[in-house]
Structures are given as structure tokens and as C-alpha cells.
Amino acid sequence: MTDLFRKIAPVADELGRLFADQGHELALVGGPVRDILLGRVGNDLDLTTDARPERVLELVRDWADSVWTIGIDFGTVGVRKGSWQIEITTYRSESYDPKSRKPEVMYGETLEADLERRDFAVNAMAVRLPGHEFVDPYGGLKDLGGRRLRTPGTPEQSFGDDPLRMLRAARFAAQLGFSVEPAVVEAMTAMAERIEIVSAERIRDELDKLICGVHPREGLRLLVDTGLAAHVLPELPKLRLEIDEHHRHKDVYEHTLTVLDQAIAQEEDGNADRVLRWAALLHDIGKPKTRRHEPGGRVSFHHHEVVGAQLTKKRMTELRFPKDVVADVSRLVELHLRFHGYGSGEWTDSAVRRYVRDAGHLLNRLHKLTRADCTTRNKRKAAALSRTYDQLEQRIARLADEEELAKIRPELDGNEIQRVLGVGPGPIVGKAYKHLLDLRLDKGVIGKEAATEALLDWARDNGVAAS
């Protein structure tokens, strides 16, 4: 640990001496200590101190490059020094009122007491500054070696103090690949309903970190098995549809987890693509509402992509995701079946253009989602689907070279339409623009002269007098 700690010691020790000279304690704590022991060093540091927030501000004001106080009501002062982002939090304990969405913060007096209120033992380790004394009163180092999650005290007390810790257990299972102690799982199951007092924003952040983890399948399984998912992402456990006795349709829940795995396998440069991952997770959530039992024992899910897009938009909006993320994920869910109309390559160039236009900036993600959605165990069928999609991508590439597909628009813009028709801005221009766009998609590039003639023909057919 000494060698790893040297990478951050200069800035941490400098701050530690500053606090010690003024009679205050300071320690590196929580996630950064855990990550150092795992061989991972980032630029974010969490520190804890006996100094109250107002005193922390006095101590760091002249030392830091910048200071922010957005978390000061919860005892946290933010600091930037060079490339380091540092949060300094006063020793504290916190708990929830049964009817409150916000924790009640009470300041503590000792480092050991502060560590006791931490979520898991692997996050309840500290290094005192500037002397580098390692503090581990709850066996976090042993848990780290065993790759397990256990609470410092009883899990019931820990989750009672902050119910969000139940989601953190699933998140750490996804991020670190750790197992969760049976007693912790039992408490999560018994107390799942209590998660409802936590704000949507805090739940969203944990779910987002989970889905972007290295092992999201493990975290999601834990949420479903403990009943937490029923409160924070109810569409997921609903995918565990009853399988008919002849197994004529897939287990949608298991299929979804496999699609997520296969989407992750296509990510580039090892960077998590949150939009692609959320789309993979939610792509079939419309199936429970659209399931129909057909003659002969068949099961259908007609228009589940449309219903799924609506449910996706609703759920992600309720979780307070940014509007652009909501729009992108729900659009991918809506489009994820479009390829299956391609058959054996019967689409016209017009249909290919519309596919590209409808996908827009999401085209590359749609490619990945569509490929990930093939989970058949029939190798011949899987190979055929893959070849067909290869052919579609080749056609898209060819048309893109010929026609700049990504920039498809009518060959006459709004100003030119107004000039040809002799009209000013208004609904007629919008209708004419749509007509020319449909023409562009159907016919490809026909040239401005032909587009002008087509516009005049449309105007005559629709009673628009061109001047």
C-alpha cells in the first residue's frame, strides 16, 4: 500500500499537515482507500476531519485553487488542487426519519465512530494524514481480499440509517464483482420497500453506476431477487413471464440480460455506453403488456417496441434522467425491431435511406443493439441473421458514400421553396418541405431542376397557386 499511496501522498500530506498544524485531524477514507488497495488510483479524494465545515473553509481557502460549498449542509466542502478533486467531510453520523427523503446529519467526534456509520466494511477503512496510519476497525481489508460486501454493524441498522445503501450493495456487486453476504441479502429483501423514501435523483445515480459497471448482470439479478427492482425499476422483474409448458417463447428476463451482455461486448475502447446499455436493458419492457396467446400455443408481442418506447420514456423521466438520454434510449427501443423487416435483403434503397434517417445519430448504437438482440441458440439461424445485417450495413455504407446519408434533406431548402411558390413562411412551406423530403428518400438525388418541377406538380395537385 505504501508504494500505491505515494502517488497521492504529496497533495494529501500537504493538506494533512495544514490541518494538523491547526490542531485538527484529517484522514483519507472510503472509496479511495479501497481503490488504492485494489491497485486503482484516480484523481478524486475523500477526506474526513473533526473540523466543522466552517472551519474547513477557513483552513483551505488560501491553499486550494478553488472551493465549492454545494454540500456544506451535509458537512462537505469541495476543493480543487491542481488535477485533484477533493471532498472534505466532517466526522458524522446520519439517519433517515421514516417519512423523510433526506438524511438528518449529526456531527461526530472520532474517526472510528465515523467509519462505523459507513455503508460497507470495504469502505470503512482510512489512512490518517500526514502520518499514514492505516485504520481498519471493521475488517475491511479481509473483506477486500475475500471480495465480499458486509456492513460494519448490522445490515438492518445500516439500511435503516440510509436505505440507498441497499442499492449500493447491488452497484458494488456490478462495479467490483464482489459477492454480497447472505445476511446483507436477507436485510435487503426484508427492507426493500423502505427504498421508496429515497429521492429519484439518488436512485437514478446508483442505477446508472450499476448499469455502467463491469458486471451489471450481477447487480441487476440482486435487485430483482431481493425485490428492490419492484420499487425502483419494476419493468425489469415483470419480464420474468411465465414460460409455457412447451417453451415456445423465450424467457424474456434472461434474454434481456444476455442482450445487455452482448451489447457491452460491442463497446469500443472499453468505455461504458450508458445509452446503449439502458436501451439493451429496456428494449423488451413492452412485452408483458402486449403478450397474446395465439392459436396453436403460439405467443405474440405485437407492437411491443412502440409500447416499450413509451414505458421507457416514462420510467427514465420519473428517474430524472436528462432529456437527451431519455429521448435517445426510448428511440432505440422503438427502432430495435426495424431491421427484421429487411428479410433477406428485400428493402429498396428508399427503405434503407429511411432506416438511416430514422436512426439519425443513433445509427451506430442501433447496429450494436440489433446485433445484441440475437440470442438464438440455433447457430445456423444466428449466422444467417448476422450475414443479413452485414449486407444491410454494406448497403448503408455504399449509399452513404454516394449520397451523404447522414445529411439527408430535400434538394430545395425552405427559402427556395418560398421563392418557387411565391409564398411567405407558414404551414404550406412545411408541407412542401415534407413532400420533397419523402421524394428525396424515395428517389435519391434527382437534382434541383427535377425537384423544382416536382414541387410545382405538388402545388398544383394541392391547390397551391404558385406565382
Three-state SS annotation for the chain: CHHHHCCCHHHHHHHHHHHHHCCCCEEEECHHHHHHHCCCCCCEEEEEECCCHHHHHHHHCCCCCEEECCCHHHCEEEEEECCEEEEEEECEEEEECCCCCCEEEEECCCHHHHHHCCCCHHHCCEEEECCCCEECCCCHHHHHHHCEECCCCCHHHHHHHCCHHHHHHHHHHHHHCCEECHHHHHHHHHHHHHHHHCCHHHHHHHHHHHHCCCCHHHHHHHHHHHCCHHHHCCCCHHHCCCCCCCCCCCCHHHHHHHHHHHHHCCCCCCCCCHHHHHHHHHCCCCHHHHCEECHHHCEECCCHHHHHHHHHHHHHHHCCCCHHHHHHHHHHHHHCCHHHHCCCCCCCHHHHHHHHHHHHHHHHHHHHHHHHCCCCCCHHHHHHHHHHHHHHHHHHHHHHHHHCHHHCCCCCCHHHHHHHHCCCCCHHHHHHHHHHHHHHHHHCCCCHHHHHHHHHHHHHHCCCCCC
Residues 161 and 142 occupy one common structural domain: no
The last residue of one of the domains, among 181, 203, 233, is: 233
CATH number at residue 152: 1.10.110.30
Whole-number pLDDT of residue 1: 56
Does the pTM of the predicted model rise above 0.85? no
Is position 240 within any domain? no
Distance CA 232, CA 230 (A): 6
- Based on the domain organization, do 219 and 315 belong to the same domain? no
Domain that residue 153 falls in = 147-233
Is 244 contained in some domain? no
Query: Alpha-carbon Rg of the chain, whole angstroms?
Result: 28
Q: Which residues contact 48 (CB under 8 A, 6 or more apart)?
A: 26, 27, 29, 30, 88, 89, 90, 91, 111, 114, 126
Place of cell 391547390: 463
What local confidence, expressed as pLDDT, does residue 404 receive?
Answer: 58
Residue 257 falls inside a structural domain = no
For residue 260, is it within any domain? Answer: no
Query: CA–CA separation, 215 vs 16, rounded Å?
Result: 36
Predicted confidence at residue 236, as pLDDT, reads: 96
284 and 171 part of one domain: no
Asked if 331 and 375 sit in the same domain, the reply is yes
CATH of the domain at 14: 3.30.460.10
Buried b (16+ CB within 10 A) or exposed e, 336-373: bbbbeebeeeebebebbbbbbbebeebbebbbbbbbbb
Distance, in Å, from the CA atom of 166 to the CA atom of 378, rounded to the nearest integer, reads 39
Q: Is 264 part of any domain?
A: no
Position 250 in a domain: no
Q: So what's the pLDDT on residue 126?
A: 95
Residues 47, 81: one domain? yes
Count the domains in the chain. Answer: 4
Number of Cα atoms under 13 Å in the Cβ half of residue 330: 18
Going from the first residue of the chain to its last (467 residues), give the mean pLDDT of each consecutive group of 10, the final group possibly shorter. 67 94 95 89 91 95 93 91 94 66 75 92 94 93 95 92 94 94 98 95 97 96 97 95 50 93 91 96 93 80 92 97 97 92 76 85 93 87 86 84 64 85 85 84 81 85 73
Tell me whether residue 6 is in a domain. Answer: yes
Cell of 399: 449509399
Asked if residue 347 and residue 442 are part of one domain, the reply reads no
Which cell is 158 given?
Answer: 445500516
Closest among 336, 343, 325, 373 to 358, alpha carbons compared: 336
Does residue 262 belong to any structural domain of this protein?
no
